[in-house]
Structure 1
Amino acid sequence: MDRRYEKSINRYWEKMEARCREAFKKLDPNEWFDLWHTHPDWDGKGSSRPENRPRCDELTYRMLKLAESITEHRGNDVQCFALVKEDTMENSIYIHSDNPNGSEFPFQYEGVIWGYSKSRLGQVVDPESHEVGLFEGDTERTLFIRKKP
């Protein structure tokens, strides 16, 4: 990677992290959440070059852990999980709780096969604290990350 591009992409990831942190700051961790989420790669640069993807995966996982730390005082009243997609613009971190909108809580992860170890996330996700799951849809695969139960 040339130095100019490296400086540019580093600034981009710093901007994306700041944007996520700002979204979390606006939350009241004691309120209800109806699949509230944010995206760590709003402009999709993680998909633009193969060397960008690991940085996006790392940021997604780091922001999941931030969501967990913000809501940990609520125990099992809140679920936090992340989705990792081929198009990194669709990566997302979710916070979910019982809510007046009637959305299913707890979220059931239907069709997700947990303990998936063949993903690139093995270099990012701490297997002692979190697990990776695979959901295979008709057109794409989605990786889930959640804290181990």
Structure 2
Amino acid sequence: MKKFRGKRRYFRNLQKEAHIKNYDLDFSAESWFDFWHTHIDFCGHGNDAVNIRKQHVKALFNLFNEANKELENWGKPYQLWIELCHEDASMDALFIHSPNPNAANFPYQHSLNPLNVKAELPAYLTDVISVEQYKIASYETIEEDGRVEKLFIIQLQK
């Protein structure tokens, strides 16, 4: 495996980029979101080490909080959530969804399983956020190669 060089600069740039203003999102009266999402760790660097994963999760939650502030001022119904893939950091993403002209799929209903937060959450998540302020659930998908991936859905308590 190739060594990850320039971590300090990479994480400094990651924190600079993890702001909602850096995304070309329209919060005007005519706008809508149809499962808009972004992956903070698109290259999957977080798969290499827990400390790297924690930095990406912090950046993702920073983006989540800023998006929530913008959406609260937007004045339309919306869904905002983070999806974390336990096995693959490149799949971690922030999602925004609202009523839209493409499909009548709002609100989106996740098929989720009950989750024992204390026992099942990975350390890279519990070390970064205060889990009490979030509604957290999980689900599993079966990949084409037969692997089972566990995903966590994280939303604000409302």
Counterparts of residues 55-134 of structure 1 (less than 5 Å)? 55-74=55-74, 77-85=77-85, 86-113=87-114, 116-117=117-118, 118-119=120-121, 120=123, 121-134=125-138
User: Which one of the candidate residues 134, 137, 141 is aligned to 1:137?
Assistant: 141
Tell me how large the CA RMSD over aligned residues is: 2.4
| Number of residue-to-residue matches in the alignment | 144
**What is the identity, as a one-letter code, of the residue corresponding to 1:125?**
I
What amino acid is aligned across from residue 107 of structure 2 in structure 1? P
Residue 122 of structure 1 aligns with an amino acid whose one-letter code is T
Deviation at 1:90, TM superposition (A): 1.0
Post-superposition CA distance 1:115-144 (Å, at most 9, x none) = 633312222222343222111223100011
1: CA distance between counterparts of 2:104 and 2:152?
22
**TM-score with structure 2 length normalisation?**
0.78
5+ residue gaps, structure 1: none
Q: Which residue of 1 aligns with 2:12?
A: 14
C-alpha distance in 2 between matches for 1:112 and 1:29: 32
Q: Matched residues in 2 for 1:75 and 1:66: separation?
A: 15
SS of 1:63's equivalent in the other structure is helix
Q: List structure 1 runs of 4+ shifted beyond 6 angstroms.
A: none
Q: Which runs of 5+ in 2 are unaligned?
A: 143-147
Cα 1:29–1:76 shift into 2, 3 Å? closer
The percent identity for this pair of structures is 25
**Residues 34 and 103 in structure 1, CA contact (< 8 A), matched pair in contact too:** no
Report if the CA contact (8 A) 1:23-1:38 is conserved: no
